[in-house]
Amino acid sequence: MDLLDLEHELSRVRSALDSWSDCKQQSAEEAKDSHAQFLQDQHGKMQGMKMKQGQMESAALLVKQRLEREQREAESLQDASSSLRAEKDAMCKRLIALQESLHSFEQEQLHRETEAKKEDSVKQKKVAALRKALSMYSGRLGLEFKQGTDELLLEMTQIQASHPQRVFKVAVRVLPDNSYSVTQCDPPVEKLSQLVQQLNLSNSFGDFVKGLRREFSRLANS
């Protein structure tokens, strides 16, 4: 092989090496670009994942805050409900106590009214008995009566032999306990308290009038 052929062969080999080198370099560049794109894609995915994670964390925080707020509201409503329930129970107890007091008051008033009616009935009966007795004895004993505000005034004549028209007086009152009391006696007699005591024991007004007339007669004619 002469020198010219050798130069041609070297030139061919050099061209082949350059072509192989360019190919390898292009492949390397493409691999580099591909790797860079891969890294960029991975970075984008990581950023997307981080963004989604941040959104999820924000959403979770909002949900947590909402749940905490609703829990506080529920606890507040529970406290208010307990307070209202306690107030309702207290009002029910107070109402029951007032109803019992009202019932007791009504029963007491009914009892008082009943007792008052009984007392009025007894008083009316006693007044009626007084009038009946006065009517019975007025003709024979010269007895007259006058109705006062809350007492009866008895006036007797035909007692003193020397002065038949002389008037002897006694005033009788019915007390709240339905007993008799003498508020006036003219002239006074010694046994008046005994006569009043016997009247309250026997409730016989006729016997009282007769006994009082005897005492008046004994005093006037002695």
Token pair for 176: 């709240």
Tell me which amino acid residue 133 is: A
pLDDT of 5 above 80: no
Helix, strand and coil content of the chain, in percent to the nearest 5, comes to: 75, 10, 15
- Mean pLDDT of the region 62-80: 81
pLDDT at 187: 94
Angle (CA) 101 107 109, round 5°: 100
Among candidate residues 218, 210, 208, 212, the one with its CA nearest the CA of residue 161:
218
Give pTM, 2 decimals. 0.41
Is 130 within 8 Å of 143 (Cβ atoms)?
Answer: no
Confidence band for 141, pLDDT divided at 50, 70 and 90: low
pLDDT at 135: 66
Enumerate domains of the chain plus CATH numbers: 124-221 (3.30.457.50)
What is the spatial distance between Cα 115 and Cα 177, in angstroms, rounded to a whole number?
Answer: 11
Packing angle of the helix pair 205-221, 3-141 (nearest 10 deg): 50
3-state class (DSSP) for residue 155: strand
Angle (CA) 108 114 115, round 5°: 90
- How far is C-alpha 105 from the chain's CA centre? 17
Is 154 within 8 Å of 172 (Cβ atoms)?
Answer: yes
Is 184 within 8 Å of 201 (Cβ atoms)?
Answer: no
pLDDT of 2 above 70: no
What is the spatial distance between Cα 145 and Cα 154, in angstroms, rounded to a whole number?
Answer: 4
What is the spatial distance between Cα 11 and Cα 22, in angstroms, rounded to a whole number?
Answer: 16
pLDDT at 222: 76
pLDDT at 215: 94
Mean pLDDT of the chain: 81
What is the spatial distance between Cα 96 and Cα 87, in angstroms, rounded to a whole number?
Answer: 14
